[in-house]
Amino acid sequence: KSNSFCTLLRETATAGVFGFDVLGIPTPPMGTIWSRIQAAFGTLPTEKEKRVLVLGLDNAGKTSILYRLQLGTPIATCPTVGFNLEVLTYKSVKFQVWDLGGQTGIRPFWRCYFSDTDAIIYVVDSTDKERMGVAKHELFALLDEEELKNSSLLIFANKQDVAGAASVTEVASALGVNAISNRTWTIVKSSAQTGEGLAEGMDWLVERLGGSAAGTA
C-alpha cells in the first residue's frame, strides 16, 4: 500500500483522468466522456454531493448497476480496471458515485477512496455461490475501516433475474449481515438487467442520507 499512490489516484481523478490500469497507466473507462461533458458544461451543484462507493467482487454487476441508474436502460459492460466516476441525481439528491474494480489485485487500492464517503453500495453476484465467503470477507474488512465508520451500507443481492441465483435471504445468510451492528444497512434483491430493486435501494439511500432517523433494516 502506498499513500502517495493513493493521493495520485485521487488527485488525477479530480483533474479529469478517470481510470488507471493495474500498472498505473491512465485508461478511459465508460464514464470518462460523460463525466468530462458534465465538468465542461454542467452547472455547479447548489448542494453537497453525496459521495458513494460502489464495491464488490469482480463480475458482481457494479458497473451495470451504475449505468442502469444513470441511463435507465441495461447496457453491455466490460470489467472495470481502475474505476468509473459519475455524478447522478436521484430524487433531487446529487450523488458522486465511484465504481471501483473488484479484481483481486485492485481491491487493496479501494482504501484510496474511503475518505469522506457517505455510503457504500456493496454488490454481490447472487449466482456466484462459490465466492460468497470471499464476498463476506471483503465486506467485513470494509466495515472495520475507520474512514468508513460513518458510511451507510446498501447491499444489492444482484443478478436475481438469472436462473439458479441465491435468494436475497440466502445471500444475507451467507454474508452474515445480521452481525452488522456498527452502522445503518439494508440488503435488497436486484437485477441490473431488469431494474428490479434498484429504485427500492436508492429510495432507502436517499432516506438515510437525507437525515432520517437511523435504524438497521
Positions marked active-site: 103
Task: Specify the pairing of strand 152-158 against strand 119-125.
Answer: parallel
The answer to whether 84 is a known ligand-binding residue is no
The answer to whether 3 is a known ligand-binding residue is no
The answer to whether 57 is a known ligand-binding residue is yes
The answer to whether 58 is a known ligand-binding residue is yes
State the Cα–Cα distance between residues 126 and 112, nearest whole angstrom.
27
- Identify which of 116, 148, 134, 112 has the alpha carbon closest to the alpha carbon of residue 60: 134
Task: Quickly list DSSP for 116-179.
Answer: T--EEEEEEETT-GGGHHHHHHHHHHHHT-GGGTT-EEEEEEE-TTSTTPPPHHHHHHHHTGGG
The answer to whether 161 is a known ligand-binding residue is yes
The answer to whether 194 is a known ligand-binding residue is no
The answer to whether 59 is a known ligand-binding residue is yes
The answer to whether 21 is a known ligand-binding residue is no
The answer to whether 210 is a known ligand-binding residue is no
State the Cα–Cα distance between residues 187 and 154, nearest whole angstrom.
6
Phi-psi map region of 149: left, alpha, beta (phi>0 left; psi -120 to 50 alpha): alpha
Cell of 183: 452502522
Residue ranges for the binding site for GTP?
Answer: 56-63, 102, 158-161
Residue ranges for the binding site for Mg(2+)?
Answer: 63, 80
Residue ranges for the binding site?
Answer: 56-63, 80, 102, 158-161
